[in-house]
Amino acid sequence: MKFFVLLSALGLCWAQYSPNTQQGRTSMVHLFEWRWVDIAKECERYLAPNGFGGVQISPPNENIVVNNPSRPWWERYQPISYKICTRSGNEDEFRDMVTRCNNVGVRIYVDAVINHMCGEGGGAGTSSTCGSYFNAGNREFPAVPYSGWDFNDGKCRTSSGGIENYNDAYQVRDCRLTGLLDLALEKDYVRTQIANYMNHLIDIGVAGFRLDASKHMWPGDIKAVLDKLHNLNTKWFPGGSRPFIFQE
């Protein structure tokens, strides 16, 4: 009986850290800023025939639109909401990509930006990839929704509100990274909003996540979010499979 329990525990542990690739497929490519329709074609025409195991994609959720400089890559790392709507494509195109890639044995891994929202100087209005209203100055993101209660402004120990000393773990995890509005992940409400977003992607069929800015979150907060995640979609994965997690 003890031997059986040990094997069961080992199985659960392995499921949590398995990349969920098909047997014999071990390589992952990063198709940075590619469109979902193009990734779907790449899975079918090149990646699957050549034995690739998966694709890391750019963040799929709504982000702020930056025009100065003109539409830089890093705007994708300034969330406005968790709607699937970016210049890579909309939710229908995302679903089609995940389905087509999974059907040929290529897994999708999402770059998940969950540490923060947009920058404090992001202004207010609907300059976002889905057109959702936000007010960065007032910490208002109604499309989630988040309000001022959901950020770490009162916890940061620096006068600037930003990270001033990277040798101070409290600053690194409770203050703003380059001015980005830092979410209070110790709050169950915030954890639930993030988990709901990630679970939506899991249910669509993604195989795992890269956690952006992971060193800027407390390990216990990350674990609390991961504990809320669903098992993977059994259309493509064995029952009980857990999302693969890797961190920046």
Pick the catalytic residue from 42, 75, 93, 212.
Answer: 212
Dump strand ranges (E) for 42-139. 54-57, 61-63, 79-86, 89-90, 107-112, 116-119, 124-125, 134-135
Tokens 């202004």 label which residue?
A: 123
Q: Is 120 a catalytic residue?
A: no
What is 164-208 written as a DSSP string? --TT-HHHHHHSBSTTEEEB-TTSHHHHHHHHHHHHHHHHHT--E
Beta bridge mates, 151: 183
Q: Is 248 a catalytic residue?
A: yes
| Cα angle 96-101-104, degrees, rounded to a multiple of 5 | 130
Distances (CA, A) of 149 to 35, 169, 224: 35, 22, 19
- Active-site residues: which are they? 212, 248
